[in-house]
Amino acid sequence: MKNFPTVLVTGASSGIGKAVALRYLKAGSVVGICGRNKEALEEIRLDHPKAYPLIFDTTDHAATVSAINQFIGEAGPLNLAILNAGNHKPTDARDFKLSAYKAILDINYFGTLNCLDAVIPAMQQQGSGTIAIVGSVAGYVGLPQAGAYCASKAAIMRLSETLRAELRPQNIDVKLISPGFVKTPLTDKNDFEMPFLMELDAATDRIIKGISGHQFETVFPRRLAWSLKFLATIPKSFYFRLTKKMLRDRPDAS
């Protein structure tokens, strides 16, 4: 595993972010562990003195920039920022609720931009750094009842690609992490069968390896990624036949 002395992880209070933060803490890094759940973050700190809880909501621009700058001011140059905070709630155009769509975009996309507003200038000033952004294979194609989530992750993918091109000349490396289904508190809420569901520990191994490696995108499990990439390339008439079968009844449908 590549050594990063100072690491920031958003969404470190549970699931993927927590598991990844713990790996860097065990490797000896100082880690800014971010989230809204103060209790969960303080609990991590109890066993890991190098953990630095940062309590903020990534949708709050001022609070996000201030907390990240405070961490950098106290912990020193930021070597690695893992922008992972995110959420998923089903959305359904048969019962269109603008606020539900906006809430997902606010956390998954604009929340990431808020973090970048502190991370990019800091790394530019240092003259180096690595930014790993957590997207999802759901960004490859639009899936029924996940319109907001798929759109937010597609936006993360395109954003990461452009950041990689623009920031590489400034010695800032940008990486995209595209997980499939991973067993976390987020997916525990799903009431449908999740193909190729991965255990958190195995997913964490893949993420750490990807961040240490040279490739831009780390995507897993490959079988799910290939299936979705294939769906994105087939003629839309076939694609809509398949997505029609995926459409589930609304919970309130009789």
Q: Which of 137, 131, 140 is nearest to 112 (CA)?
A: 131
130 binds ligand NAP (CB under 6 A): no
CA R_g for the chain: 18
From the CB of 189, what's the least distance to ligand NAP, in Å? 9
Question: Residues 65, 117: contact at Cβ < 8 Å?
Answer: yes
186 binds ligand NAP (CB under 6 A): yes
| Backbone conformation region of residue 28, classed left if phi is above 0, alpha if psi is from -120 to 50, else beta | left
The residue ranges of DSSP E strands in 50-105, in sequence order, are: 51-55, 80-83
Q: Out of 4, 7, 11, 207, which residue is the one contacting ligand NAP (CB under 6 A)? A: 11
Instruction: Write out the binding residues for ligand NAP, residues 110-129 only, by CB under 6 A.
Output: 111
221 binds ligand NAP (CB under 6 A): no
From the CB of 85, what's the least distance to ligand NAP, in Å? 4
Q: Out of 7, 8, 16, 22, which residue is the one contacting ligand NAP (CB under 6 A)? A: 16
From the CB of 237, what's the least distance to ligand NAP, in Å? 28
The crossing angle, in degrees rounded to 10, of helices 15-26 and 200-212 is 60
Instruction: Write out the binding residues for ligand NAP, residues 36-65 only, by CB under 6 A.
Output: 36-37, 57-59
**List of residues 6+ apart from 91 with CB closer than 8 A:** 97, 100, 101, 104, 145, 146, 147, 148, 149
From the CB of 219, what's the least distance to ligand NAP, in Å? 10
Instruction: Write out the binding residues for ligand NAP, residues 73-112 only, by CB under 6 A.
Output: 84-88, 107, 111
Q: In terms of CB distance, is 37 or 215 closer to ligand NAP?
A: 37
Annotated catalytic residues are 149
Q: Out of 65, 181, 210, 221, which residue is the one contacting ligand NAP (CB under 6 A)? A: 181
Number of H helices, E strands in the chain: 10, 7
**List of residues 6+ apart from 135 with CB closer than 8 A:** 153, 156, 157, 160, 176, 177, 178
Report which residue type is found at 237: S
Chain residues binding ligand NAP by CB under 6 A are 11-17, 35-37, 57-59, 84-88, 107, 111, 134, 136, 179, 181-182, 184-187
